[in-house]
Amino acid sequence: MSELVQRFTINREGTDYVVGDIHGCYDLLATALERKGFDATRDRLFCVGDLIDRGPDSRACLELVFEPWFHSVRGNHEELASQALQGGDWALWVENGGGWALNEQPRRLAALLHEALARMPYAIEVALDDARVGIVHAEPPDDWAALAQQGHALRQRLTWARRRIASRCETRVSNIDAVVVGHTILASPTNLGNVRYIDLGAFSTRALHIEALSESVSHFASKT
């Protein structure tokens, strides 16, 4: 079982970036990183989850979690994969883009997923020079401190919920400067309260959003 929250100290050597739902689009990610001039020896890349399914290269995207420069929260598609391999609910996973798994050797895939999920917390917190940025897949709690207080009771909300985006909620998440999420496909990055939504539906639109975390925070600087 992965930990609920993983915290990262300030990166003094390079730049921290965040990327939207990759969904097996390894080629798009490689192109986006090249355009940003990403340096794997100094920079770090954080992802909002859903590394797998729907796109052409889920396995390569899942294996990114073993790179020292790459860090991702767990998305609902990783949850679907886990449920299929642990509980046998293959139909639901396949219906939602997990068909690639049928071409894999079950035991090897189960081992890979087990190791990968152990490296994927439900939430990430990154320290910048003058801010703290949270990252979850779907929806943060109203109070970031609740992650420590309520623990794994929040897992469903973190990976599946859409209440805030559905109601266009402008209420800020307390005890954090900004939160970056994915899960809900939008035409362009959208800010509500201090939550920034960056999933552009890469598997269908071929648009994958990546930005420096300092840029993510800058959208809310005048509202604090």
Q: Which residues are annotated as catalytic?
A: 77
The answer to whether the CB of 159 falls within 8 A of the CB of 135 is: no
Among candidate residues 96, 45, 66, 80, the one with its CA nearest the CA of residue 208 = 45
Half-sphere CA count of 205, side-chain side, radius 13 A:
14
Specify the 3-state DSSP secondary structure of 201: coil
How many angstroms separate the CA atoms of 219 and 61, rounded? 29
Tokens of 77: 């598609």
Which region, left, alpha or beta, applies to residue 129 given φ > 0 means left and ψ of -120 to 50 means alpha? alpha
